[in-house]
Amino acid sequence: MQIIRPIRQSDFAALKQISIEAGHGFTSLPQCDDQLTAKIQHAETAVSDALQANKDGSYLFVLEDSETQTILGTTGIEACVGHDSPLYHYRISQNRIGSKLLGVNRTVNTLSVCNDYHGASEICTLFLRKAYRNGSAGRLLSKIRFLFMAQHPERFSSTVIAEMRGVSDEHGQSPFWQWLQEHFFDIDFATAVHLVGTGEKHFIAELMPAYPIYLSLLSKEAQAVVSQPHNSTVPALRLLQQEGFQHKGYVDLFDAGPTVEAQLHDIASVKNSTLTKVKVTAVQGKESIMLCNTSVEHFRGAISDQVKFDENSQTLFVSPDVANQLLLGSQDEVRFMVM
């Protein structure tokens, strides 16, 4: 059975391997032992904090095969971004220019550096290893975060964002960054991504163009990738769009990948999830159901057809095996949604 649970220090080797497999541009998992260790420590602190009154938790979960203990992927939530360190984006704006004398009217797009998502929650660090991309694992990694947030809304902002990885080639070269590098920077894309991944962002404020950039002045190659996701990110973006996330004109500073957003209470999986009581009994349902316990420190989530919701009693019947895997007992509360 595939189980979502909070990451722990014993998962370091698996997380490091995932960071290698994720490759260039995956800034939330830098290939740096110290940074990965710190990331796990922050995640352990977040789930051990009973209140998280300041909403600054950094949550990271892993998807584990309960039989083999193999880690298949990761998924995460940053409860509050842009607070301790600015979260920079380019904002795409439309500007009208014209001349009555010449009878010319045009709309031109510009890119302006901003920190508009100050205090938002961010879903991030979703990566499913290639060998396990069949079946429902990707949907579980994406949607389980929303069940966790629905159960613990006090820990998160009302605005939720997701930064989608932008276009880069097999060598990790970004057409958008190549244009920026030529005109404003003297470091390659991999170096820039590494610096951001390790928290070194000062160079952004120091070297990024202070004034809006006309999109039409970019190279054709750079223009073509603005707001476009990396091929490997397209499935994740589609899932978020189904949840109600929208692109409102914000793109990444380095690869111009789109940032999408939604209000927490409007996210489909939040609205469609139900909190109810559990009864542990032998059961075989007719449909797949995603469910999770209500714990933070001992959070567990999964997709199973060995569960069934009874509307009359408002009870979710859960098989003993599933209940054991998710640390559930009869009369415990559970949050679930039909897939």
Task: Report the catalytic residues.
Answer: 230
Contact 115, 86 (CB under 8 A): yes
Beta-sheet strands, E only, within the chain: 2-6, 58-65, 71-78, 89-99, 104-114, 121-128, 159-163, 213-214, 246-251, 258-263, 274-280, 289-293, 301-304, 307-310, 315-318, 333-338
Q: Which residues pair with 138 in a beta bridge?
A: none
* DSSP SS3 for 134: coil
Contact 192, 177 (CB under 8 A): yes
* DSSP SS3 for 187: coil
Q: Quick one: tokens of 40?
A: 């796990």
Residue for token pair 């051990």: 48
Q: Which residues pair with 74 in a beta bridge?
A: 62, 127
Q: Quick one: tokens of 292?
A: 């999770």
- Element holding 223 (H helix, E strand): helix 220-225
Q: Cα separations (Å) of 187 from 178, 194, 220, 254? A: 10, 11, 21, 12
